[in-house]
Amino acid sequence: MKRELVMGINAVESLVENSPERVVRAWIRSGNRRLELLERKLHDHGVAVEHADDHALDRMAGKVRHQGVVAEFRPRAPIDDNGLEALVAERGRRLLLLILDGVQDPHNLGACLRSAAAAGADAVVVPKNRAAGMTAATRRAAAGGAELVPLAVVTNLARTLRMLAEQGVWRVGLAGMANDSLFEARLDGPLALVMGSEEKGMRRLTREHCDQLVRIPMPGRMESLNVSVSAGIALFAAVRSRMASCPPPTA
């Protein structure tokens, strides 16, 4: 697979901590304590490091903020339809998925990956067409989350939702006009949380393949939230529900 660039301290640090064998080399700026620690970590894993100034790093990073470090690496291929079905079968009742229907901003995708990683989700699922994919901007926004939670890219989202139903996965879609509250929804057991695009929300066919449509209660004066914020709220509502149904063992 073609090599890519990743930039940003958290993104590079997560990559070298979780998959050092995929890091080819790195360029780093001197004079910052966090960068010095990262450089030492790169050296400890046998990664070739070159010093570079901001001008050279800016040229490599393009419009993505690099924070003084850029690394070249071999990307991991996303999960395909077959891989996702195998993951669903393997995880069973513990499954937690975040499905994004047409989210097109790579920064929103990255923020969703970050929240999904923090919540312990098994994968973030996106359609192959008309949606953001794994780019340098996505990885930077994910702040390391892109190395902790897999991205599944599926050919047909409606077909994927049907597969999940056949596997016993409860599909909860977030929609601003829904009658039911997220905080009263069934969120334990195998679960797929479904979010729509930034402007139009879920497509009709996606909504029809959800078992339940819910809204986030907003007693304040705002009518909507950014998709990545909504995803974070929904994911941790699921975490809370699961912790309540299966509390940790007492000492």
* Largest Cα–Cα separation, the chain: 56
- Average per-residue pLDDT in the chain? 90
**pLDDT at 250 > cutoff 60:** no
Q: What is the mean pLDDT of residues 105-124?
A: 94
* Class for the domain spanning 4-73: alpha beta
The pTM assigned to this predicted structure is: 0.84
Overall fold of domain 81-245: Alpha/beta knot (3.40.1280)
> Domain ranges in the chain?
4-73, 81-245
**pLDDT at 177 > cutoff 90:** no
The DSSP letter of residue 67 is T
Determine contact, residues 208/185, Cβ cutoff 8 Å: no
* Cα separation, 133 vs 140, whole angstroms: 13
pLDDT tens, residue by residue, 11-51: 899 889 888 898 999 999 987 889 999 999 999 999 999 99
Q: Is pLDDT larger for residue 218 or for residue 112?
A: 112
